[in-house]
Structure 1
């Protein structure tokens, strides 16, 4: 008899969660849904509380994205991604035997996933260790635009319009060259993964667009101060943790 996987579904899209729950009811002999989570922070708590065998995990979510959530786990369930990632990332899943479901999830594709689960004699074979998984999924996507919701409108912001990105408490802002600041639902880490290589992290809460640097000054304790070309001529300091990498990057 195949193992019955105690399962948590983690996705910030309610319709996506409901669809997956409805489809999984056809496989109740294999999958037992014991919980749902609406974002990475909620997912982290549910996993540690419920200790599931398996999670269906979205990648782009508020608070913590899927990768950030996985990196914080103490209990390590098997992972099946429900993702809208492009074909290059999907190829990485396939090559490393990491299962995924492309949203919107289709019954035919889900059936293949269930058959794979049923054939596994040792549950730990369903996925790579979390550390390896995170390395394999470090796929950079060169986004042409980022969407920002302003009331009923959706604004498209081009990467070249952004001077820097900064997190303040639980909020993340796109700080543009023209001085405007736009609140985004993305985390700093997820933006680091999506944006071109011109964007680099200088501390835990800040990404800068290297094309928008006016000058670099040496700060205290090995830190660097970046003077930006934005309207405010913002001065942003690196942390000691990133200092060596930044000095090497800029050949300082």
Structure 2
């Protein structure tokens, strides 16, 4: 049987990870890398444009994570995940026969993924429902409050009251609609994984509650400025790396 040529797209927000994967895949003549993307929104565009046979897909990315991106596809290609999740969490992939590569990707492990892909080249469906997989990995767990410690007290801050979340140096603050700031023990990355999809990451240091956006303005440098509904009428600016994906989300 003639070896199938897999038209391939790499989707990962880390440029070094994309470069490493391209370098490792360069020896595989039956994989034709036709495009790459730096986030889920770009990934959607490239997949719709090129209709690939295969994608290498990171899970945690700005604006749309890997599972959210997959849920929006009309036609789904074969998927090999690339993930920084630990071995225990990754076992969910193995049990459901969805292949994965644990970062940093190693050549030997990649070779096994390619072999498995070749074995399934005649299969019509190698995938499982990704909402089930996301549930197994406890991504975007449904929560309604975040806890804040003040001395020996623990406050429960309702998500609906949070307008934005900002990291400053080593500290992360929850900004609420009444104009108050609450110091939290969570990191920005941990909160992005924990919070529902209404919370969007607009820069490395800022998450905003999309339900609390009053207005969006275009900045002179091409980024976006979000005017929030809190009592102080605060403004949150996107960074360049996140702006294009945000424009896709808000159809700007």
Which residue of structure 2 lines up, in the alignment, with residue 137 of structure 1? 134
1:63 is displaced (CA, Å) by 1.3
Alignment of 1:97-246 (within 5 A): 97-128=97-128, 132-138=129-135, 139-140=137-138, 160-161=147-148, 163-165=157-159, 175=174, 179-180=181-182, 190-192=193-195, 205=210
Q: Per the alignment, do residues 185 and 76 of structure 1 end up closer, same or farther by CA in structure 2, a change over 3 Å counting?
A: farther
Relative to structure 1, is the Cα distance of residues 71 and 185 closer, same or farther in structure 2, using a 3 angstrom cutoff? farther
Q: 1:164 to 1:107 in 2, by over 3 A?
A: farther
TM-score when normalising by structure 2: 0.60
| Separation (CA, whole Å) in 2 of partners of 1:141 and 1:72 | 17
- Corresponding residue number in structure 2 for 1:38: 38
Deviation at 1:124, TM superposition (A): 2.8
Label 1:69 to 1:187 Cα distance change in 2 as closer, same or farther (>3 A). Answer: farther
**Given that residues 8 and 33 in structure 1 are in contact (C-alpha distance below 8 angstroms), is that contact kept between their aligned partners in structure 2?**
yes
Alignment partner, residue 152 of structure 2: none
Alpha-carbon distance between aligned partners in 2 of 1:69 and 1:172, rounded to the nearest angstrom: 23
Contact kept, 8 Å, 1:37 with 1:43, in 2: the verdict is yes
Q: Shift in Å at residue 47 of structure 1?
A: 0.6
Q: What is the aligned-residue RMSD (CA, Å)?
A: 3.5
In structure 2, runs of 5+ residues without a counterpart are 149-155, 167-172, 197-208, 212-230, 232-252
Aligned length: 177
Matched with 2:12 is: 11
Structure-2 residue corresponding to 1:245:
none
Alignment deviations for residues 126-173 of structure 1 (CA, whole Å, 9 cap, x no partner): 323xxx122123222799xxxxxxxxxxxxxxx6338355787xx866
- Cα displacement string for residues 30-68 of structure 1 (whole angstroms, at most 9, x for unaligned residues): x11010000011001111111101100001100111111
Q: Assess if the C-alpha contact under 8 Å between 2:140 and 2:194 holds in 1.
A: no
Could you say what secondary structure the match of 1:27 adopts? coil
Q: Which secondary structure state, in structure 2, belongs to the residue aligned with residue 126 of structure 1?
A: coil
Shift >4 Å, 4+ stretches: 164-168, 171-174, 184-189
Preserved CA contact (<8 Å) 2:71 2:130: no
Contact kept, 8 Å, 1:78 with 1:124, in 2: the verdict is no
* 1:68–1:185 distance in 2 versus 1, CA, 3 Å: farther
Residue 2 of structure 1 contacts residue 119 of structure 1 at CA under 8 Å; is this kept in 2?
no
Normalising by structure 1, we get a TM-score of 0.60
Aligned to 1:95: 95
The runs of 5 or more residues in structure 1 that have no matched partner are 144-158, 194-203, 207-231, 233-252
